Structures are given as C-alpha cells and as structure tokens.
Amino acid sequence: MSERPLWGNSMTEQAYPDALQPQYRMHWYTIERVLGQGGFGITYLARDTNLDQLVAIKEYLPVEVVARGEDGRVRSRGEGQRERYRWGLDRFIQEARTLARFDHPNIVRVHSVFEFNGTAYMVMRFEEGENLGTLLERRGSLPEKDLLRVLLPILDGLELVHNAGFIHRDIKPDNIHIRADGSPVLLDFGSARHALGKSRTLTILVAPGYAPFEQYYSSADNQGPWTDIYGLGATCYRAIAGTQPLDAITRSKGILGSTREVLVPARTVGSGRYSSQLLAAVDHALEFAEKNRPQTVSEWRRELLGEARAPSAPPAAPEPPAVPAPGKVAPAGDAPLVVPPQAAPVAHNAAPAVPAAAARSGWSGVRAPIAWAIAGAVAGAIAIAVFALIPTPSGLEREQKIAESKQQIEMERKRLDEERKRDEEKRRQDELARKRFEEQLKQEEIKRRQDEQTRLAEQKKLDEERQRVEEQQRKFAARSKPPATPATKPPPQPVIATRPPPPILPLDPEPEAPPVVALAKPKPSPQAEQLARGEGALARREYEKAYEILTPLAQGGNTRAQVKLAEMYASGLGVNRNYNQAYIWYSLAARGGSTTAPAERDRVAARLQPAEIRQADTVVENWRAR
C-alpha cells in the first residue's frame, strides 16, 4: 500500500491542483515533481528506487470526467462517466503496451505501465536536455543544417510508428526534445488520446498553428500519416520564419471564403536563406487539404532530400492577379491562355474558375463532386467563349485552338475523376480497417468476460473444496476425542480390632496399569487462527477485512496467506487489479514451498512486460534477502 499524500498549501498544489505531491510513493517509484499537465494526464519526474534512476511517469487523468479524492484515488464524477472513463483507461494501457514494443533512439522509450489509485501510470525514460520550443524561443530560427539534424531522425522514428498503425497527432516544437548530445527524441504520444464520447473517435486538444484542419472537425477516418506530416511542416515553418504558421481555422476562412490562401508560404519567408527543395517540401506538407499533402513519411523525406519535386505551393498573398497586356500569355490553370485585347477582363475573372487553379487555391479540401461538375462546365463554357472572340488568320487555326482547349478540359476532368475514385477507395479501405479494429475490440471484451467467468467458477470451486475439507476436519476432531473417566473412591472398610497377622514375606508387586489420560484437541496457533479468520472473511466477500488480516501474515512469510493475497491482486478483489503485485506474492509463495503458486505465477507473468517481470524478480530477491 502506498503512503497517503501530504495534501496542503504547497507550490505543487497551487500550480497543479490535481497532481500527486512530492515524495508520494507508488510501488518502488517516488514522485519528485511535476513536469507538465494536459487535458488527459499529468507527467511527473520520479525516482525508481529499485534501479536508482530517474524516470518520467505519465498519469492518466482526464479531468473532464474524473476527480482525485483526499486519499489520492481517482474516481469518476458520476455514474454516467464511469464507463467512458474505464474505456479510455483501457486504451491508455493498450497504447503504453504497444509503444513499449518500439525501441528507436528518437522515439520516447516506454518501460512499463501499471494500475494504481484507480487509474494507470506509464513509466518512460527521462531525457535530459531542452525541448525544441524553448530552443527556438532563445534563438528565433535554425539554419537548414541544424534543422535537418533534428528533422531527419524524427522522421525515421515516426515512420516506424506509422507502420505499426499509430499516429502522434500532436507534433509541435514543445514535443521534440533535444538531448545533451544534440540528438532529438519525439515525446508525449499520450496527447493523442481517444475521445471519451460514445462515438469513440480519435481527437486531441489541438495546438493552434500545428494542427491541420481535419483535427478540428473530422473523425479518425480523415486522419493519418499526413496529419503528422502537417505538424512536422508547421514545426519547420516555425524554425524558418521565426513564428508559427496561421492556425487552420484562420486559413479555412480565407480559402473557403474567397478562394485565396492567407498563409505566406515558406518559399517566400525563407527565400535566400534555405534551399528551394526544403522550402517546397515544407509548403507541400502545409497544404490545407489532407489529400494534397505527402501521404507517407518516406514520400516527404524524398522531397526534403531533393529526390522528388514537390507540387507548387499556394500564392504568397491574397493579392488579385495583374491583368496581362494585350497579346501576352496569362496563366489560367495548367495551360497558357492567349488573351486578346478585348478579352482581358474575361480572363481576369475566369482564372479562379478553372479546376486546376481552384485545386491549388484550396478548393480540393471541400469534397463536393457537384461543385466540381459545375466548375468544369463553367470553365468549358468560358474557354469556348474566349476562343470564339480570338481574331485568327484562318478558320483552321481557330478550330485547332478550340480542339486543344476541349482536350485540356477533358484531361482535367479525367484527372479529377481518377482523384475522386482514389479518395473513395481510400475511404472504403479506412472504413474496413475501422470495422476490423472494432471487431477486434469486441472479441477482446468477450474473451475478458469469459476469463472472468472462468475465474469466478474456479474460485467458487476452490471455496467449496476448502469448506468441505474444513468440515471433514471438524468431524474427525470430534470423533477422536475420548470420553472423560470419572474418578471413584473405594468404599470405606470396617475397622476390626484383632491381633496383628503374622508377617508375610514380600512378593513382587504387580505392575500398575497406566493411568487413562483424556486426549485434548491441540489448540491452534495464533497465526493459524489469523489465517482462518482471513480466509473466512474472503469467503464471505469481506475483502477489506481479509486484506487487513492476510497482509501481515504474508509479509511474515506465511505461504498460504501469500497465495490468497496474490489471488486478490490478480482478480481485483477489494484492491485494484495489479498483476505486478500478484506476480510478486506468487513468487514469494513458490519460494516458500507452495505447490500451487508456480503455475499461478506463470499465468500472471503472461500479462506482464519483460521489464516488469525483471523488476518484480528483483523485488522478490531483495525481500528474500531480508
């Protein structure tokens, strides 16, 4: 059991009122101070007293639905919040176990996870150094060479996470840590929390300027590696421009309201100081529509290194295009358009309506097939009308230009149709993946319930067998007790006055019969009485009383009490379910000679990480050494 926190008017309480206090102990971890707090949890600096090293511990604490009591335990704010909280807690534990499988030098290392205080705690490696956000505040910007030294290793680690089916969802300078040797590490995967609503979609508390538009309004179906790529692009923009980019909501008002981009591109703010390929890759990562960004980390890495040319970025500012001089070439979409003197105003108004120009200006973020059809029809009509006014030397040349214009419009239409089909196929694949994931969760829940029913049936069978044995012992003790022998006195003999009899030679005396002694039932020892009381309380489901009785017996080396205490931790009877504690008590009982403990210890070990088992074995060795 942990020590009760010292709640008082302290600096930690004032700055982080929901945090555990310094010197609070959990297993072999001692809290030293708070590193930070978000909407879903608090991160502490703690000391692992078992291995004598500093660790970072993240506590799952969604303050929206839970509150901490005076005893340090976390409880839901109402009955209606309990299921939501438990679902999110299970996802937190599952995420920690998944991240623990990643061993990459640029991804934060997760050591273990355990349940305590009615919530869960993720133990991570503590990294010395400072985060990139603090470094940029001090230096303003980073040269291209230093920026790539930070960015490329993070891309390698993030690609590993993406290939495993996870995305970070909160990449920003504050979550990139620079170690003392200059190497970067990506932190705080816990920010990408599952929402606690009934829809169970993925969401985060977005960081303005670093979160793309799909994180503000859409479900997890629209989020993927391209979401993290936007965050990385925004982080690079901050290092180039000295200020973070405009947030996605502000950009959406400009793009959707006037078909004009309001974000000044990186190729403008970094011109002359950074390579064109880096600036083009950053602008590509900051595309407003998710389908226009690089879709994978490897694709974006090739653009950064100059192995692939990024598409052109949006215009630098919402200035109206200049009207071309008569007879000159004016850009309209992907193909040049010759503008005669009388057609200049028409070309000025027609340019934004061509689908290619609209795609670059942000309309691709609005998935509206009907709008595209109308835009294509209007573009075709305007193009034909413009060419009808062109004075040409001959009708043949005029017909040729009309045919070329129609061909370009048809090619653009086909391109848009193919893009729409790819989007539909991607949505279909994402929907299938989501259904498979939900089915997997459902099967895991069914298996958990079956395991719980099996455990309860086995526990009931054990209790019945124990009661039967105790009843047989009582009957045997009653039958073996001999009846008491009453003491009798010989009747008084009459006194007769006679002369003394002649002397009689002494004979060998007959051996006396051994006295009959009533066998008394041995009185049980105080420890046996305590054990019987504890087991009786456990059978009556008085779990708190059983825990109070069995704990000192188990600590004193009673193997049977150790087994019972391990069963309580493994099943969550009166205490938080804790497979780590169950493993420790089963191990101690096995070393004390229990024949049933080894098999139960191996069954619990299957639910633990290798690092947790090693730490638990160390605790057992230290315990036995005492």
Domain's final residue, options 57, 92, 125 = 125
State the pLDDT at residue 299: 94
The answer on pLDDT for 187 being more than 60 is: yes
State the pLDDT at residue 369: 43
Task: Identify which of 227, 225, 231 has the alpha carbon closest to the alpha carbon of residue 217.
Answer: 227
Q: CB neighbours (10 Å) of residue 123?
A: 25
State the pLDDT at residue 296: 95
74-88, 126-140, 290-304: the lowest-pLDDT one: 74-88
Rounded-to-integer distance, Cα 134 and Cα 131, Å: 6
Compare 483 and 42 and report the one with higher pLDDT.
42
How is 312-374 classified by DSSP, letter by letter?
A: PPPPSS-PPPPPPPTTSEEEETTEEEE--GGGHHHHHHHGGGSHHHHHHHTGGGS--HHHHHH
State the pLDDT at residue 492: 54
Q: What is the mean pLDDT of the chain?
A: 76
Same domain, 201 and 291: yes
Compare 164 and 192 and report the one with higher pLDDT.
164
Compare 430 and 225 and report the one with higher pLDDT.
225
The answer on pLDDT for 523 being more than 90 is: no
- 121-166 per-position pLDDT tens digit: 999 999 888 889 999 999 999 999 999 999 999 999 999 989 988 8
Same domain, 565 and 431: no
Span 468-488, mean pLDDT? Answer: 66
Does residue 269 lie in a domain region?
yes
Same domain, 110 and 172: no
State the pLDDT at residue 275: 94
Helix (H) or strand (E) holding 184: strand 184-186
List residues bridging with 107 in a β-sheet.
186
| Domain hosting residue 622, numbered range | 525-626
Rounded-to-integer distance, Cα 204 and Cα 206, Å: 5
Does residue 508 lie in a domain region?
no
- 373-393 per-position pLDDT tens digit: 444 444 444 444 433 444 444
Q: Which two tokens stand for residue 267?
A: 């190729």
Residue 532: give its domain's CATH number. 1.25.40.10
Residue 65: give its domain's CATH number. 3.30.200.20
Same domain, 119 and 136: no
Does residue 177 lie in a domain region?
yes
Span 414-432, mean pLDDT? Answer: 85
Given a contact cutoff of 8 angstroms between Cβ atoms, the answer to whether 242 and 141 are in contact is: yes
Does residue 231 lie in a domain region?
yes
> φ and ψ at 308, to 5 degrees?
-150, 145
Span 475-500, mean pLDDT? Answer: 55
The answer on pLDDT for 337 being more than 80 is: no
Q: How confident is the model at residue 250 (pLDDT cuts 50, 70, 90)?
A: confident
Domain's final residue, options 423, 443, 463 = 443
The answer on pLDDT for 170 being more than 80 is: yes
% of the chain beyond a pLDDT of 70:
70
Same domain, 40 and 90: yes
Same domain, 341 and 284: no
Q: CB neighbours (10 Å) of residue 506?
A: 6
Rounded-to-integer distance, Cα 294 and Cα 232, Å: 12
Same domain, 162 and 114: no
Span 497-519, mean pLDDT? Answer: 52
Same domain, 439 and 548: no
Rounded-to-integer distance, Cα 608 and Cα 478, Å: 48
State the pLDDT at residue 332: 35
The answer on pLDDT for 281 being more than 90 is: yes
Compare 192 and 418 and report the one with higher pLDDT.
418
Does residue 603 lie in a domain region?
yes
> Number of structural domains, the chain?
4
- 35-71 per-position pLDDT tens digit: 888 777 899 999 999 999 999 999 999 888 888 888 8
The answer on pLDDT for 254 being more than 80 is: no
326-340, 408-422, 431-445, 515-529: the lowest-pLDDT one: 326-340
179-188, 387-396, 514-523: the lowest-pLDDT one: 387-396
Q: Tell me the whole-structure pTM to 2 decimals.
A: 0.47
Domain's final residue, options 94, 125, 156 = 125
Residue 222: give its domain's CATH number. 1.10.510.10
Does residue 487 lie in a domain region?
no
Span 179-203, mean pLDDT? Answer: 61
Does residue 484 lie in a domain region?
no
Same domain, 230 and 115: no
Does residue 323 lie in a domain region?
no
Same domain, 25 and 68: yes
Same domain, 135 and 117: no
Q: Which amino acid is at 554?
A: A
% of the chain beyond a pLDDT of 90:
30
Same domain, 206 and 353: no
